[in-house]
Amino acid sequence: MEKLEFKFPSQALLAAAPPALCGVVGSGNLEILVRSGVDRQICEISVNTSARGFGETWRAVLATFAASQAVGGTSIAINDMGATPAVVSLRLAQALADYRGGAQ
Amino acid sequence: MNAPLPRAWDSLRQSRGKRLERAASLGLHGKNGKEIPADRIIDLLEAVIERGDRVCLEGNNQKQADFLAESLADCDPARINHLQMVQSVLALPSHVDLFERGLASRLDFSFSGPQGARLAKLVQQQRIEIGAIHTYLELFGRYFLDLTPNVALIAAQAADAQGNLYLGPNTEDTPAIVEATAFKGGIVIAQVNERLDQLPRVDVPADWVDFTVLAPKPNYIEPLFTRDPAQITEVQVLMAMMAIKGIYAEYGVTRLNHGIGFDTAAIELLLPTYAAELGLKGKICTHWALNPHPTLIPAIESGFVESVHCFGSEVGMDPYIAARSDVFFTGADGSMRSNRAFCQTAGLYACDMFIGSTLQMDLAGNSSTATLGRITGFGGAPNMGSDPHGRRHASPAWLKAGREAYGPQATRGRKLVVQMVETFREHMAPVFVEELDAWQLQHSMGAELPPIMIHGDDVSHIVTEEGIANLLLCRTPEEREQAIRGVAGFTPVGMARDKAMVENLRDRGIVRRPEDLGINPRQASRGLLAARSVKDLVRWSGGLYAPPSRFRNW
Amino acid sequence: MSLSIRHSWFEATARQRLAGLLDPGSFCEFLPPAVAQPSPHLAQLELPGAFDDGVVVGAGQLGGRLVLVAAQEGQFMGGAVGEIHGAKIVGLLRRAVAEKPAALLFLIDSGGVRLHEANAGLIAISEIMRAVLAARAAGVPVIALVGGSCGAFGGMGIVAKLCSAVVMSEEGRLALSGPEVIETVAGVEEFDAKDRALVWRVTGGKHRYLMDDCAALVDDDIAAFRNGASALLAGWQERPNTLASLRAEQVRLQGRLATYAGCRDGLEVWAALGVAEPARVPLLDCDELIALKEGLPT
């Protein structure tokens, strides 16, 4: 297992909301927990992944997410069981939508 | 000038006569339905096969002459050796045993599937000489030119008292093999599952067959084309949505072939739902060159599909096929007649699109399913997945693709050859690579060419979860490379893209993202699949589809 | 065709099952992911845990009546029971003793003990067994719902049978040893675990229903489980085990063992039960099978 921690600058998400969970820690899958964070301009992401040695791939996938979406002020925790970047990106989009939905 | 030396012009016929006499001298006359008892098959094989013969062992993609293969492998290598095997597919352990036991020395084939690793080992040990790895059509073609079999060992469903054969729905390669052998002085031996007084229909006339043997067990048929909808992922649904909206709809693809993977199974299952919602029923996917994929059942039942011609059949599909004779090619008896040679021809010349998957793709768009330590071969994909320069009839999809490739004044069209891949396979193996493993494999095997499945210059589109790259519209090698990098996601190849150039390609519609197609990735749910389990497929079929036990959870 | 509106229980996650099972908006999770801790044992083994440790517990309403619920996530480590996972379930069962809800619905989807957690998992399962019996003794019906991809095997197979009643779908499976375990121990001649149709013929929902091992058989559909659980609870009178009832059950099971001991396959058992065409049973839909059972000699 590898533990990764990232902080990305991101446009502030307008409203804080109750935590949202998306996905399951199953083979080739992951779960993503989105909570409100501390700094309104920063998206904090921590990852526990079963696959070692893909830190740079994670950084690239998550940086793209944080740059393309307003997720400043969130703290995101991920438990991963070997999901591909395609699955990670899809789950991030779903988790963010669930979190935003909770804010309405 | 001296008179030419006298020569015999019927040496093949004479040889054939001697072989049959040797068999007859052992009491193996092949009278009464050309019937040979199963326990004398080795005597027969040793009588009619000679050292150095070219032997065609019917190993299809699915149907296997397994009893004859095992019997040949059990023959005495002191009597039968240096055989030159010609066969479509090296599928069974006995196929490789022939070489390990010293019966055969040379192999010309098309596909090796599960025996790929053993085959690679034999090549490295120099215990086998590979003539060439072919496509199916190439190999069939060579049966009629320079690789004509002396002896063909085939599999049929049933024989009657005269020795006529019924091949059943899995006709597959048998007609091509028998025709080449029987009409060039060869000997045809058929294993049959049953003897019938009256065949449902005659697929091979008795006078093309020399011997029949009732196999102790029915020939093995592999369910190769059953894809459990339960295993289709959301990412595959997303890519299927993109393919339908961005390619099928835009080109109006009506005549096509699908690969056998889950990516294209997802497309088949989105036809009655997503494609129907887009109003595409009757406008796409009407005519198919395709095995009877169970995942096509919902599209057929929804009225999408007018016609399907098949390479072979699929385990459990026969009752459904027989009940849908408007769609499938069936005999007067009701059962399907497949034919790999004709279906491959349809796939090559009559289809406007091939769409399939691959394990690796390089920056020129070349793709390969070869991995180190395995020789897998090609099957039919290179024929399906190539633009045939001999095609002359036009269709809207073909013309549109041709104009994109060659400009508005194009004098020919272009087949759509679509590669559909997730950027990473399982265990984070990137599909997009700087160099295919095929090159290393070429060196380690001492082959003349790298085993490239589909050449980049034949590929028209690449679909990944990141987007669609239209290679037809690329005007320079640099544009092609950046278009490929532009859909290669977070693979090292994808991350090394020239971002500005990819954005430029996107502005020109060469690279298109899901949002450019009006698709929200979050809509990509398994709920869109017309069937989400094998049981759903059975329900769609009205109970006619009977899936093999291993695909059931009831 | 109604296929597209079916919401498969088999395919759904634990959270999706709960969302469709309970009255909309009524679910309140205890120890939700944001405050829960993943398994410390898995972390020690360098394996990623799940925030909820593979089980969702909470309270909600079923047809307006208060119920407590526990839902195992079969996709996380095969729904296997670890220390935290087990403690959440035990805590919920004890809460049921105190709060006396209309029922405790136990959405089982598990291969049994989480081997990575060894003794902690074994102890957790035995605590769950005791807590199930305690809840029933307090008059709270504990209803097992079995229709997930992992079925109910090993210790969770026993737990299912300790519950007041079991609701199954055809896709659900219920047994002690899993198919692979039997094949490994007794050989492929004894049991071919890859023969999925065989596996379902001896462990699947239809077989369990014909054998009276489950109280209700429902379609693989979340709404069908909801309706099945509601129907079962309507007028349910919880009857905890007594010495006499246990003795009677023991006699019944001994008789059953004697009757079917020679059978090698569900097909033979069904024939012995009086089913005219056993081979057709796997092809029947849920309603047809229920009708078939009603017509059997008793």
pLDDT in tens, C206-257: 999 999 999 999 999 999 999 999 999 998 999 888 999 999 999 999 999 9
Give the Cα separation of B286 and B288 in Å (integer). 7
- Tell me which residues of chain B, numbers 218 to 257, contact chain A at a CB-CB cutoff of 8 Å: 233-235, 238
Phi-psi region of B130 (alpha: psi -120 to 50; beta: other; left: phi over 0): beta
pLDDT value at B272 more than 50: yes
Exposure string of B435-470, with b = 16+ CB inside 10 Å and e = fewer, is ebbbbebbeebebeebbbbbbbebbbbbbbbbbbbb
Interface contact B521-A93, CB threshold 8 A? yes
Interface contact A79-C50, CB threshold 8 A? yes
Closest residue in A to B234 (Cα) is A87
Question: By the 8 A CB rule, do A86 and B235 touch?
Answer: yes
Interface contact C75-A29, CB threshold 8 A? yes
Model pLDDT, residue B380: 93
Exposure string of C149-185, with b = 16+ CB inside 10 Å and e = fewer, is bbbbbbbbbbbbbbbbbbbbbbbbbbbbbbbebbbee
The size of chain B, in residues, is: 554
B54-57 vs A74-81, strand pairing mode: unpaired
Closest residue in B to C150 (Cα) is B553
What is the pLDDT averaged over residues B447-476?
96
Closest residue in C to B548 (Cα) is C197
Model pLDDT, residue A104: 46
Alpha-helical runs (H) found in B387-448: 396-406, 437-445
Interface contact A33-C38, CB threshold 8 A? no
CB nearest B554 (choices: C3, C8, C170): C170
pLDDT value at C6 more than 80: no
Residues of C in contact with A26 (CB under 8 A): 75-76
Interface contact C51-A31, CB threshold 8 A? yes
Interface contact C11-B526, CB threshold 8 A? yes
Give the Cα separation of C106 and C70 in Å (integer). 5
Taking any CB pair shorter than 8 Å as contact, residues of chain C touching chain A are 13, 15, 32-34, 38, 43, 46-51, 73, 75-76
Taking any CB pair shorter than 8 Å as contact, residues of chain A touching chain B are 28, 51, 54, 57, 60-61, 64, 82, 84-87, 89-90, 93-94, 97
Confidence of residue B61 (pLDDT cuts 50, 70, 90): confident
Closest residue in C to A52 (Cα) is C46
Indicate whether C107 belongs to any domain: yes
pLDDT value at A42 more than 80: yes
pLDDT value at C5 more than 80: no
Domain map (residue ranges) of chain A: 2-103
DSSP code of residue B547: -
From the CA of A46, how many Å to the nearest CA of chain C? 12
Q: Give per-residue pLDDT as tens, B276-309.
A: 999 999 999 999 999 999 999 999 999 999 999 9
Q: How many domains does chain C have?
A: 1
Interface contact B553-C3, CB threshold 8 A? no
Residue type, C189: E
Question: How many Cβ pairs closer than 8 A exist between chain A and C?
Answer: 46
Helices B93-100 and B116-124, axial angle in degrees (round to 10): 10
- The dihedral over CA atoms of B238, B243, B246, B252, expressed in degrees to the nearest 10, equals -140
Indicate whether C136 belongs to any domain: yes
Interface contact C200-B230, CB threshold 8 A? no
pLDDT value at A103 more than 60: no
CB-count exposure of residue C238 (10 Å: 0-12, 13-18, 19+) = middle
Domains and CATH numbers, chain B: 31-214 (3.40.1080.10), 229-537 (3.40.1080.10)
Residues of C in contact with A50 (CB under 8 A): 47-48
From the CA of A68, how many Å to the nearest CA of chain C? 25
- Tell me which residues of chain B, numbers 115 to 144, contact chain A at a CB-CB cutoff of 8 Å: none
DSSP code of residue B102: T
CATH of the domain at C76: 3.90.226.10
Among the residue ranges B436-440, C56-60, C63-67, the one predicted with the least confidence is B436-440
Residues of A in contact with C38 (CB under 8 A): 79
Please provide the average confidence, as pLDDT, over all residues in chain C: 94
- B522: contact with A, CB 8 A cutoff: yes
Give the Cα separation of B187 and B153 in Å (integer). 9
Model pLDDT, residue A15: 80
Indicate whether C46 belongs to any domain: yes
Phi-psi region of B383 (alpha: psi -120 to 50; beta: other; left: phi over 0): alpha
Tokens of B338: 């497949």
CB atoms inside a 10 Å sphere around CB C273: 16
CB nearest B235 (choices: A64, A86, A97): A86
Give the Cα separation of B420 and B454 in Å (integer). 13
Q: Give per-residue pLDDT as tens, B76-130.
A: 999 999 999 999 999 999 999 999 999 999 999 999 988 999 998 998 888 999 9
Residues of B in contact with C220 (CB under 8 A): 535
Question: By the 8 A CB rule, do B440 and B368 touch?
Answer: no
Closest residue in A to B495 (Cα) is A60
The residue assigned the tokens 């971002």 is B499
What is the pLDDT averaged over residues B381-387?
95
Interface contact A90-B235, CB threshold 8 A? yes
Interface contact C49-A19, CB threshold 8 A? no
C55-62 vs C65-72, strand pairing mode: antiparallel
Model pLDDT, residue B426: 83
Provide the 3-class DSSP secondary structure of residue B96.
helix
Q: Which of A31, A32, A91 best probes binding to C when mutated, by most C CB atoms within 10 angstroms?
A: A31
Closest residue in A to C53 (Cα) is A25
Interface contact A1-C34, CB threshold 8 A? no
CB atoms inside a 10 Å sphere around CB A19: 18
Q: What is the pTM of this model?
A: 0.93
Give the residue from B125, B127, B117 showing the smallest Cα distance to B375: B117
As a whole-number percent, the residues of chain B with pLDDT over 70 amount to 99
Give DSSP secondary structure letters for C200-252.
HHHHBHHHHHHTTSSSEEE-SSHHHHHHHHHHHHTT-------HHHHHHHHHH
Question: By the 8 A CB rule, do B246 and B267 touch?
Answer: no
Between residues A42 and B554, the one the model is more confident about: A42
Interface contact C11-B273, CB threshold 8 A? no
Interface contact C200-B540, CB threshold 8 A? no
Interface contact C48-A24, CB threshold 8 A? no
- B302: contact with A, CB 8 A cutoff: no
Closest residue in C to B531 (Cα) is C3
Confidence of residue B376 (pLDDT cuts 50, 70, 90): confident
Confidence of residue B5 (pLDDT cuts 50, 70, 90): confident
- B183: contact with A, CB 8 A cutoff: no
C-alpha dist (Å) from residue B224 to A76, B167, B261, B292, B385: 42, 19, 10, 10, 19
Question: How many Cβ pairs closer than 8 A exist between chain B and C?
Answer: 43
Tell me which chains share at least 3 CB pairs under 8 Å with chain B: A, C
Model pLDDT, residue C1: 36
Taken in order B487, B490, B494, B499, the sign of the CA dihedral is: positive
Interface contact A24-C75, CB threshold 8 A? yes
Model pLDDT, residue B124: 86
Model pLDDT, residue C36: 83
Half-sphere exposure (Cβ direction) of B257: Cα atoms closer than 13 Å: 30
Give the Cα separation of B308 and B225 in Å (integer). 15
Model pLDDT, residue A65: 96
pLDDT value at C3 more than 50: no
The torsion angles phi and psi of B190, rounded to 5 degrees, stand at -115, 130
Interface contact B553-C171, CB threshold 8 A? yes
Question: By the 8 A CB rule, do C211 and C168 touch?
Answer: no
CB nearest B532 (choices: C8, C170, C197): C8
Q: Give per-residue pLDDT as tens, A47-101.
A: 999 999 999 999 999 999 999 999 999 999 999 999 999 999 999 999 999 999 8
Model pLDDT, residue B373: 80
Question: How many Cβ pairs closer than 8 A exist between chain A and B?
Answer: 49
DSSP code of residue B332: T
Interface contact C50-A24, CB threshold 8 A? yes
- B545: contact with C, CB 8 A cutoff: no
